[in-house]
A and B are shown apart, each in its own frame.
Chain A
Amino acid sequence: MNTTAPAVGARSSVPFSARLSEWMPKLVLAPSFVLAFLFIYGLMAWNGYLSLSASRMLPDYSFVGFEQYGRLWESERWWVALKNLGIYSVLFLFFGMAIGLLLAILLDQKIRAEGVLRTIYLYPMALSFIVTGTAWKWILNPGLGLEKLMREWGFESFTFDWLVNTDRAIYTIVIAGVWQSAGFVMALFLAGLRGIDDSILKAAQIDGASLPRIYWRIVIPSLRPVFFSTLMVLSHLAIKSFDLVMALTAGGPGYATDMPATFMYTMAFSRGQIGLGAASATIMLATVAAIVVPYLYSELRTRK
């Protein structure tokens, strides 16, 4: 990373216009820079302060230290949200990565209709989670949805009540989340596969290695960077999950499918627990930062 050498050297021998063009870039960048920084870091700090304050219904800036965090970790609902996030993240990452990688490898076998198939696999990403969540809610509803279909197909005792079942509802969110994002993972892996040098594979084939073996031993290991960035992107998406939960279960039944993001929203904007909401937002921030910052750091360092 080279921070000193300007891409274009401004010379001071041409007095006014050069001095102007020396300042112009900074001047032009300044407004967005200031806005973005106040927005990102200013509000982040402010939220951090709120989380240390006594705020309930209204912001109240009397300092109470880590009291809100204490309340947060004592809250059963917060633990439910964390547990759900754990279940969701593990399953979402596993199935999302597995299906995405499978589809990418299959599509890489010189498939004639690749463009059409790719379009089909990826279209959910163009839709809002609210749209797809509404559709899944109808498909998975016990009564007229999937359950009725299976019964008409002859499975008389088929029941599927996960959507309204306290212990199962979180898995409906996993289904919809994986369905929405698998195509995205496929696109990332496909881009990675296209970047692999053909000659290595040709050589391996000449040596008599079978196709599955070539994939297992050469191709998949060389996708390691794509693996990490995909994992990073998916896990930060999982932590931020909000829309899908709201559309599919709204955190229910009760608060059985609450996640940190919906917990934060409920506390801050409908329960009058601003301090608690701010504390949960700070925990979310810390978790995302722990995943993303090392990644960004290495990305920026390796890029000359």
Chain B
Amino acid sequence: MSPAAAPSRFDWHRLALWSVLLLFAAVFLLPMYVMVTTSLKDMEQIRQGNLLSLPTSPSFDAWSKAWSHACTGVDCGGLKPFFMNSVVMVIPAVLISTLLGAINGYVLSKWRFRGSEVIFALMLFGVFMPMQVVLLPMSQVLGWLGMASSLWGLVAVHIIAGLASTTLFFRNYYVGLPDELVKAAMLDGAGFWRIFWRIIVPLSTPITVVTLIWQFTNIWNDFLYGIVFSGADSKPITVGLNNLANTTSSVKEYNVDMAAAMIAGLPTLFVYIVAGKYFVRGLTAGAVKG
């Protein structure tokens, strides 16, 4: 909705409106500004200047240190191995959970059967439940399966944990597609899979993008599973960053911390800037449409 705007005469209301909006914009941008500028300073400039001062001689030294030789606990190999773990983990986890979500959503919307709505409702709770209740048993299960402390264990957990939301996304989207499409195809003799691949999938581009982005953002940003289920060689980027920022050394290198935070945040930030519309759609769909 949008109330009729006043004509273009100068208007104190408009001025107040813009002041508040811009003030909030500044508040939201400030931490990002501080992160970027701090990451380009050396410790000398940090001590000389203040939070808002621009770097006097900007350099990427802190970035290269954060990437390749900052200490995260006892290791001093930078964030690079953690970043690579996250990349290796996120690709299969996102693709598989999205594909399964699409198939589940297709069944739960176009091939309903007795009890399928109950199944859907029971699955929905998985979107909201506190994951703390699965941590202890799941670590035991992963141990039995020989996947404890491995990247594949983490991938498996992300796939299963993501099923509830990917199914929800696709199901709600497919409900909006006319049933006649499926009926017509059936009269032409098309079966379950043929209808899926030939008719449903080509119509799924928007929701697929929404789901891929949603899953990517969530899995990349996950910290809880990462810290509980990973071993020494399979820690994701968020755990690496947390270790780096909480490593107590004699001198706290805030510039390296900020560069590391930027490195960990850039992939999701990039996706957000390129495809923000789809990200927002995922956020609101996951939240409001139960």
Contacts and interface: CB of A to CB of B under 8 A. Distances in A.
A170 B228 CA distance: 24
A188 B284 contact: yes
Interface in B220-248: 220-224, 227-228, 238, 241-242, 245-246
Contact of A284 (B30, B130, B272): B130
A42 B140 CA distance: 13
B179 A40 contact: no
A284 B246 CA distance: 27
Nearest to A234: B287
Q: What range describes how many residues of A lie at the interface?
A: 35 or more
Interface string A100-135: 001100111111000001111111111111111011
A62 interface: no
Contact of B1 (A2, A139, A201): A201
A229 B5 contact: no
B5 A17 contact: no
B114 interface: yes
B284 A121 contact: no
B133 A47 contact: yes
Interface residues of B, number: 106
B73 interface: no
A21 B134 contact: no
Interface string A200-237: 01100100000100100001000000100110010010
Contact of A6 (B20, B113, B228): B113
Interface in B234-290: 238, 241-242, 245-246, 254, 257-258, 260-262, 264-265, 268-269, 271-273, 276, 279-280, 283-284, 287-290
A137 B245 CA distance: 9
B5 A109 contact: yes
Contacts of A146: 51
Contacts of B71: none
Interface in B18-74: 20-21, 24-25, 27-32, 34-35, 38, 46-47, 50-52
A122 B107 contact: no
B121 interface: yes
A4 B136 CA distance: 38
Contact of B3 (A107, A211, A264): A211
A26 B104 CA distance: 10
Chief secondary structure at chain A's binding surface: helix
A106 B272 contact: no
A40 B165 CA distance: 13
Contacts of B129: 40, 44, 285, 288-289, 292
A121 to B, nearest CB: 6
A272 to B, nearest CB: 12
Given A138-B257, A179-B31, A197-B1, A33 B119 contact: yes
A3 B114 contact: yes
A187 interface: yes
Contacts of B130: 236, 239-240, 261, 281, 284-285, 288
A29 B121 contact: no
A145 B47 CA distance: 10
B165 to A, nearest CB: 11
Contacts of A205: 3-4
B126 to A, nearest CB: 5
Contacts of B1: 108, 193-198, 201, 219
The majority secondary structure among interface residues of chain B is helix
Given A198-B2, A233-B287, A43 B261 contact: no
B209 interface: no
Contact of A264 (B5, B132, B192): B132
B137 interface: yes
Contact of B137 (A28, A43, A247): A43
Contacts of A184: 283, 287
Interface in A253-304: 260-261, 264-265, 268-269, 274, 277-278, 280-282, 284-285, 288-289, 292-293, 295-296, 299-300, 303
Interface of B: 1-5, 17, 20-21, 24-25, 27-32, 34-35, 38, 46-47, 50-52, 100, 103-104, 107-119, 121-126, 128-138, 140-141, 160-161, 163-164, 167, 179, 182-183, 186, 191-193, 217, 220-224, 227-228, 238, 241-242, 245-246, 254, 257-258, 260-262, 264-265, 268-269, 271-273, 276, 279-280, 283-284, 287-290
Interface of A: 1-8, 17, 20-21, 24-26, 28-29, 32-33, 35-37, 39-44, 46-48, 50, 59, 99, 102-103, 106-111, 117-132, 134-139, 141, 144-146, 148-149, 152, 179, 183-184, 187-188, 191, 193-198, 201-202, 205, 211, 214, 219, 226, 229-230, 233, 236, 239-240, 242-243, 246-247, 250, 260-261, 264-265, 268-269, 274, 277-278, 280-282, 284-285, 288-289, 292-293, 295-296, 299-300, 303
Given A32-B100, A123-B32, 15 more contacts: A6-B113, A21-B191, A25-B111, A25-B192, A29-B104, A29-B108, A39-B134, A39-B161, A43-B134, A103-B21, A138-B35, A145-B51, A149-B52, A201-B3, A269-B228
3 closest A-B pairs by beta carbon, nearest first, are A299-B290, A25-B111, A128-B221
